Amino acid sequence: MSEVYVGNKPVMNYALAVMAQFNGGAEEVAVKARGRAISKAVDVAEVVRRRFLPDVDVKDIQISTDRIDGETGPVNVSAIEIVLARK
């Protein structure tokens, strides 16, 4: 399964990356994000589904908490994985 990690770039950059994966033959693409980028990952999935590829649907959504080492010790960071698949 292909993966697109969402970060600080504009939503359209990630939407185009997801579309490139599907146009390259991928059956499923996972959109992943952590922390503040979670809302942007949801936006990416919705833009791809509603504007560009209407034959793509949300197959699965996983939420989790990642424990990372911060400056003051371990920090919990929320994470999401949205799996998009062709119908």
pTM: 0.92
Rounded-to-integer distance, Cα 72 and Cα 57, Å: 41
- Alpha helices in the chain, H assignment, sequence order: 11-23, 38-47
Q: What is the pLDDT of residue 70?
A: 84
C-beta of residue 30 within 8 angstroms of C-beta of residue 1: yes
**Three-state DSSP state, 9:** coil
In the predicted structure, residue 87 carries a pLDDT above the cut 90: no
- Number of neighbouring beta carbons within 10 Å of residue 6: 25
Structural domains present in the chain: 2-86 (3.30.110.20)
- Tell me the DSSP string of 31-49: EEEEGGGHHHHHHHHHHII
pLDDT digits (tens, 9 = 90+) for 19-55: 999 999 999 999 999 999 999 999 999 999 999 999 9
